[in-house]
Amino acid sequence: QSVLTQPPSASGTPGQRVTISCSGSSSNIGTNPVNWYQHIPGTAPKLLMYNNDQRPSGVPDRFSGSRSGTSASLAIRGLQSEDEADYYCAAWDDSLPDYVFGTGTKVTVL
C-alpha cells in the first residue's frame, strides 16, 4: 500500500503545462529527497528526477521538480506526445524503513 499520494490522472494538449502532485509525511518527503520515475508500460521505468529537482543526463529541461514540506511536485512544460506515460514519485521512508513509491499518475496527451 503506497504511502505517497498522487492524483490518478492528468492530461493536457501538446504544448501545455501539466503538474503532478505527491503528498507524503514527515518520515519520507518531509525528511528525505524525492525522486520521480517515468514508466511507459512494457518498458523499464526511467529515472526522471532525483534529489527533488535534479535531472539526470538526457532528461529534457521541460521537466522540473520541487519539494515543499511533506509534498512534492513534477511539472512538464511544453507537453509532448512522447510524455504520455505513468509517473511515480518516491522517497526513502525513515519510519519503516522502506523505499516508498507514490500511487502513480497516468499522463495523457489529448
Partner 1 sequence: QVQLQESGPGLVKPSETLSLTCTVSGGSISRYYWSWIRQPAGKGLEWIGRIYTTGSTNYSPSLKSRVTMSVDTSKNQFSLNLSSVTAADTAVYYCARAVFSNNWFGYEYYFDSWGQGTLVTVSS
| Closer to partner 1 by Cβ: residue 8 or 13 | 8
Rounded Cα distance between 58 and 63, Å, is 11
Check residue 51 and give left, alpha or beta (phi > 0: left; psi -120 to 50: alpha). Answer: left
Tell me the closest approach of the beta carbon of residue 13 to partner 1, in angstroms: 26
Q: For binding to partner 1 (CB under 8 A), which residues are involved? A: 1-2, 31-33, 35, 37, 39, 43-47, 50-51, 56, 88, 90, 92, 94, 96-104
Tell me the closest approach of the beta carbon of residue 98 to partner 1, in angstroms: 6
Residues linked to residue 86 through DSSP beta bridges, in sequence order: 39, 106
| Closer to partner 1 by Cβ: residue 15 or 97 | 97
Q: Grid coordinates representing 64? A: 522540473
